[in-house]
Amino acid sequence: MAKLTIRDIAALSGVSKSTVSLVLNNSPKVDPATRRHVLAVMRRNRYVPSFAATALAKGSTRLIGMVVPGLSWHMVASINIGVAAVTERSGFDIILYTATNDRDYGSLIDRILTSSMVSGLLVVSHEQPLEPLVQLHSDGLPVVLVNTIDADVALPSVTADNYDGALTAMDHLLQLGHERIACVQGRMVYRCCQDRYRGYLDALRSAGIQPDPELTKPGDFLPEQIRARSRELFALPPDQRPTAVFAHSDVTAYAVMTAAAEAGLRVPEDVSVIGFDDIESAAQIRPPLTTIQQPFVDMGKRAAEMLLEAIGPADDVPEEEPADERPRLVMPTSLIVRASCGPVPVTRSPRGRSQTTSKA
Amino acid sequence: MAKLTIRDIAALSGVSKSTVSLVLNNSPKVDPATRRHVLAVMRRNRYVPSFAATALAKGSTRLIGMVVPGLSWHMVASINIGVAAVTERSGFDIILYTATNDRDYGSLIDRILTSSMVSGLLVVSHEQPLEPLVQLHSDGLPVVLVNTIDADVALPSVTADNYDGALTAMDHLLQLGHERIACVQGRMVYRCCQDRYRGYLDALRSAGIQPDPELTKPGDFLPEQIRARSRELFALPPDQRPTAVFAHSDVTAYAVMTAAAEAGLRVPEDVSVIGFDDIESAAQIRPPLTTIQQPFVDMGKRAAEMLLEAIGPADDVPEEEPADERPRLVMPTSLIVRASCGPVPVTRSPRGRSQTTSKA
DNA sequence: CTGAAAGCGCTTACAG
DNA sequence: CTGAAAGCGCTTACAG
């Protein structure tokens, strides 16, 4: 069971090591008959070239690194599905770095990644500092960021259009006649949440509605806090109580719905709730959640494609010009209409706000 | 920015390559002063040894492979958290193989894994053929299986105690007075589902209740099918209708609850529903789901520990004796009581079954 | 189209 | 405690 080497294959097929190597690398300069023969010998002996030796000799690996903030997020899992789909058929394997604690994030970056183990890096960014990545990128390592990203970072990226998604969510609510729409925020240090909140505000304003600060609640993606803040919302006097809630995530929406139920409010009869993400259970809960779907799988695919393109065709790596184009892909979201949003309750429908919307 | 090599460090610190290598490998035969000095030089120049060269020279990598059936499952994500927690502090990195399609599973195994890229393999098994793994294992590659596994496979493994979990779930229901308890099955080709079903049957029998075949429904983890089969359950005449449902997964339970709502039945007043898994949203939905928690994170930790132990301390790899002990760890589950199960509806409570349970 | 040779960056006996 | 040398298994000009 001793591992076979290229030398063994050479001996077994009666050619030199060089020739074996050439067939390994699909060189056109090998006689077709020779190649077939060598290939057959390799197959018969279940020969697999040593990964390490190949990497050393070539100076590059068929490995791309993927840095994620834990796998338990629906987002990360979905992105990975997309990434895996494209890396799979490109012969690349992915090595996974779970950057759990911020502490060693920096060292992770320059420890492992400088060891030239990886020919490219996919980062599902988080709250981590981005400078080390910028550094790496300008040193010539292909890097692409997925999901949250600060607009001013000079790195290729693919994100979802959170602003537009929020606009769409709000339009849905607005068209159902809602005017007092609350917003339960996510983690506001995230760019994506900031964008969603801007969308909330802008949608309101362009409908001629002055945002009521009292209807904005922090949630920080913490179920406890979300429930507490939602309770405040639902404890408001009937004429001030929101008739709809825009939650910054589906799980946030669940907690809002729980609070609603505790307050004796029915969804969607008494209060409409819209989420963001479209996680798997969104269709399964009662009532099925209306939400904004983020195209995570596609985002993963596109990101992987961008990265592979940047890595280039194995050989002609243009060391000198690190592809100064920094593509930013912003992917559209979609409104998934299920049952958690309904028309504004009739008993309260036309209320005396200072302005009237131009919408139905 | 040219990558520094051990030679550069040697030159910069005025010692030989060997010495640098020795400090790299924490050899005790290096003068402490020399070591400090070399270390300082390395740090100052941000030197990182080449992964490929180290792997080639040592004949082994600090990489462990993890084969998973897609990341979108809660289970896989949680297991990975555990795995990452232990590999992280052991200096191992994990390379992730997402075995999406069965087709290339076999080739995946012997392609990549034989290339000696990986010093151990963690497999979150699925419906995949296990023979290639057994082969690999007897060839000396440490392998450990996580989660589903056939009892007769001669491989180290860590699984959850699905049988006992089912027993616990059923006991909970039984103690609430339920006698007509339905079971909505998962994918019955999975060992775990078979175990859960055995638990269901045995719990019933040891409570003196003859299982009613009509109360067992296939679901196969398919929401559509689950809903359809549940509808049949709830359409039964009131005296034959189940008062409780044991679902083989939380998501299955969600679909059952949806069907119940559609049938005008309240949970838990009219029908109790218990799940299996304890996924994140289980606490968030309405009503919060009572369920059996599987210790996925711990399972991942234990599996990683077993694997690292099998890999051993880098050097003394006992090539000859491939550790013939094949530990099987079966980890306990826990009952998480929330609000989806209640006492049997009073209007129906003492019904004329042929047998009476000995329980309250 | 094929072979001999040097080299990728480390590790590991072996001398000293 | 430290150095010179061979070797890990490939790849890649360079001859032929």
Alpha-carbon dihedral angle through residues B309, B310, B313, B315, given to the nearest 10 degrees: 180
Instruction: Give kind and range of the element (H or E) at residue A141.
Output: none
Cα–Cα dist B258/B271, whole Å: 12
Closest CA to A277 of A198, A335, A223: A335
Residues of A in contact with B291 (CB under 8 A): none
Residue B71 forms contact with A (CB below 8 Å): yes
Alpha helices in chain B (DSSP H): 6-13, 17-24, 32-44, 51-58, 74-88, 105-112, 131-138, 162-175, 191-206, 223-234, 250-262, 296-311
Q: Which residue is nearest to nucleotide C8 (CA to C1')?
A: A57
Residue A189 forms contact with B (CB below 8 Å): no
Closest CA to A179 of A336, A347, A343: A343
Task: Say whether the peptide bond before residue B268 is cis (omega within 30 degrees of 0).
Answer: yes
The answer to whether B196 and B301 are in contact (CB under 8 A) is no
Of B71, B279, B284, which is closest to A81 when you measure between CB atoms? Answer: B71
Q: Count CB atoms within 10 A of the CB of residue B264.
A: 8
> What confidence tens digit (pLDDT) does each residue in B169-226 have?
999 999 999 999 999 999 998 889 999 999 999 999 999 999 999 999 999 999 999 9
Residue to mutate among B284, B285, B319, with most A CBs inside 10 A, is: B284
Alpha helices in A237-312 (DSSP H): 250-262, 296-311
| B16 CA: nearest nucleotide by C1' | D3
Query: How far away is chain A from the Cα of B99, in angstroms, using its nearest Cα?
Result: 9
Instruction: Catalogue all structural domains in chain A, each as residue range(s) with its CATH number.
Output: 1-33 (no CATH), 63-155+296-331 (3.40.50.2300), 162-294+336-348 (3.40.50.2300)
Strand B244-247 to B272-277 pairing: parallel
Q: Tokens at residue A239, please?
A: 């004429």
> What confidence tens digit (pLDDT) does each residue in A184-204 have?
999 998 889 999 999 999 999
CA quadruple B73, B77, B83, B84: dihedral sign:
positive
Distance measured from the CA of protein residue A308 to the C1' of nucleotide D15, in angstroms: 36
Q: Count CB atoms within 10 A of the CB of residue A78.
A: 23
Residue A91 forms contact with B (CB below 8 Å): no
What tens-digit pLDDT sequence spans chain B (360 residues)? 457 899 999 999 999 989 999 998 888 888 888 899 999 999 898 888 888 899 899 888 888 999 888 777 788 888 998 998 898 878 788 888 887 665 567 667 766 666 767 889 999 977 777 888 888 888 788 999 998 666 567 889 999 999 999 999 999 999 999 999 999 999 998 889 999 999 999 999 999 999 999 999 999 999 999 999 999 999 999 999 999 999 999 999 999 999 999 999 999 999 999 999 999 889 878 899 999 999 999 999 999 999 999 987 644 334 344 444 668 899 999 999 999 999 999 765 444 444 444 443
User: Residues B136, B332, B275, CA angle at the centre, nearest 5°?
Assistant: 105
Cα–Cα dist B124/B76, whole Å: 7
Alpha helices in A176-313 (DSSP H): 191-206, 223-234, 250-262, 296-311
Cα–Cα dist B295/B147, whole Å: 10
Hey, are the CB atoms on B85 and A100 less than 8 Å from each other?
yes
Residue to mutate among B3, B42, B79, B98, with most A CBs inside 10 A, is: B98
Instruction: Give kind and range of the element (H or E) at residue B273.
Output: strand B272-277
Residue B86 forms contact with A (CB below 8 Å): no
| B6 CA: nearest nucleotide by C1' | C9
The answer to whether B64 and B86 are in contact (CB under 8 A) is no
Cα–Cα dist A308/A321, whole Å: 16
Q: Tokens at residue A315, please?
A: 């050989």
Residues of A in contact with B56 (CB under 8 A): 50, 52-53, 56
Hey, are the CB atoms on A72 and B81 less than 8 Å from each other?
yes
Q: Which nucleotides of C are covered by protein (CB under 7 A)?
A: 1-5, 7-13
Instruction: Report the amino acid identity of residue B269.
Output: E
Hey, are the CB atoms on A72 and B95 less than 8 Å from each other?
no
A310: which strand partners? none
More confident residue, B100 or A89: A89
